[in-house]
Chains A and B, each alone.
Chain A
Amino acid sequence: MSATPTTGSQTIGPYWHLLEEPEWADLTRFGATGELITLTGTIRDGDGALVTDACVEIWQASPPASDVFQGWGRARTDTDGRFSFRTLKPGPVPGRGNALQAPHIAITILARGILIAIHTRAYFAGEKQNELDPLLTMIEEPARRSTLIAEPTTPGVWNLDIRLQGEGETVFLDI
């Protein structure tokens, strides 16, 4: 069987909002129950300017997908460069080998000026498993590691600010 490489990626551009369904930012909208949380944050570029036209998508393998919880959502960054999702707090999931991964949410960032999807993760401050997580333990500098860790602000609200480039640049993943 001859192999054909994956089709090339192109930018999502500035007009992707034609696809937007605002309710997709609420992963609990089909009646999911569990520990409800808000995951929010801003996105900034290399100048520290807010990115106000991004498409942010999240995916979580925990809790397992079901009829009432799809585990996936999409949100825009607004005029304040902020995205916001309503979801369920994930639990730990298996890693490779016999490792356990700390609770996390996978994040995809798509925007004008981004030619191929940028990936990162949100972990949760204070989780005991963070210290043993295979990805977090791969990152030696504490300041870099902290770019993946959402902090609680008000009860049930977790904030993760993302910096695409420059000072405090977020750790991005080659998946």
Chain B
Amino acid sequence: MSDNPNDPVPFRPYVPDTQPLNDTPSYGSTHKRHPTQKLIRLPHTITETTGPRFSADKYGAIMDLSTAVGGQAIGERIIVHGTITDEDGRPVPHTMVEIWQANATGRYNHPGDTHDAPLDPHFFGKGRVYTDENGYYKFITIKPGAYPWGNHYNAWRPNHIHYSYFGPGFASRLITQMYFPGDPLLELDPIYQCIPDLAARERLVSKFDISITEPNWALGYRFDVVLRGRGATPMETN
């Protein structure tokens, strides 16, 4: 393959041990769902380096999950904010963030969730926000409850919020979960523990943030997210 100056700049490979393996035996649902053949490494083309663009005019923002159908959700109201940057610290501006979560009792507003905990008529658990030009985002919700699952005896998921990010290209797509500081279930959770590198794992835990906490109203948490950077570091392009 000869070089072409018009070739798109690829996204950078993931740093070893900072991402989970799909073959993670402690998480039972992976057993029959992980590929066993070697993945084919595909040098990035425009199919991987470009991606969809979303905007609030087509896909309206849902910034406050804490009220629905004219009433306030039960639970501890929280504000979550942070920045989305790439691996070199550059903001990822105007990118869509999708959010979903259980209610304060640990129950999803989803027909598949059979956990014996009450639904909340004032909580749907779905949000959608966009970063500003500095990669900053913020939304309001209630703290989700922990819930049991069938992975092993007495298995409970730690409190968590699910997120979906797009970033600038098809290959920068990221799905993750945000956790809360001091949760004793983290140590026991095979999904959280699937990320080998401790520092990378701990970055999934939000930080309590008094600076965004609103007096007499809501606690604040900070969750900063990093999406893939481009293959060439700034040094190399200079």
A114 with B40, Cβ < 8 A, contacts A15-B100, A53-B112, A106-B170 known: no
Docked pose: A51 CA to B34 CA in angstroms: 12
Give the chain B neighbours of A172 by CB distance below 8 A: 35, 37, 39-40
Contact of A132 with B by CB under 8 A: no
Contact B201 A8 (CB under 8 A): yes
Contact of A110 with B by CB under 8 A: yes
Docked pose: A7 CA to B37 CA in angstroms: 26
Contact B33 A165 (CB under 8 A): yes
Give the chain B neighbours of A169 by CB distance below 8 A: 35-37
B1, B2, B35 interface centre (most CB from chain A within 10 Å): B35
Docked pose: A117 CA to B167 CA in angstroms: 15
Contact A16 B100 (CB under 8 A): yes
Consensus secondary structure, chain A interface: loop
Docked pose: A71 CA to B52 CA in angstroms: 7
Give the chain A neighbours of B29 by CB distance below 8 A: 11, 112-113
Contact of B50 with A by CB under 8 A: yes
Give the chain A neighbours of B47 by CB distance below 8 A: 59-61, 93, 101, 104, 106, 121
Give the chain A neighbours of B201 by CB distance below 8 A: 8
Docked pose: A100 CA to B191 CA in angstroms: 40
0/1 interface trace, chain B 141-152, chain A, CB 8 Å (1 if under): 000000000000
CB distance from A161 to the nearest CB of B (A): 15
CB distance from A121 to the nearest CB of B (A): 8
Other-chain contact of B108, A4, A18, A116 (Cβ < 8 Å): A18
Give the chain A neighbours of B225 by CB distance below 8 A: 7
Question: Which 5 residue pairs spanning A and B have beta carbons closest together?
Answer: A113-B29, A72-B52, A46-B32, A5-B15, A174-B39
Chain B positions within 8 Å of A, measured between CB atoms, are 1-4, 6-7, 11, 14-15, 18-22, 24, 27-37, 39-48, 50-53, 59, 85, 87-89, 98, 100, 102, 108-110, 112-113, 124-126, 162, 164, 170-171, 173-177, 191-192, 194-195, 200-201, 203-204, 225-229, 233-234
A-B contact pairs, 30 of them (CB 8 A): A4-B85, A5-B226, A6-B14, A8-B18, A8-B19, A8-B176, A10-B176, A11-B175, A11-B177, A12-B164, A16-B100, A18-B100, A18-B125, A45-B32, A46-B36, A71-B52, A94-B45, A106-B48, A108-B170, A113-B28, A115-B21, A115-B24, A115-B191, A115-B194, A117-B175, A134-B1, A173-B40, A174-B40, A174-B41, A175-B44
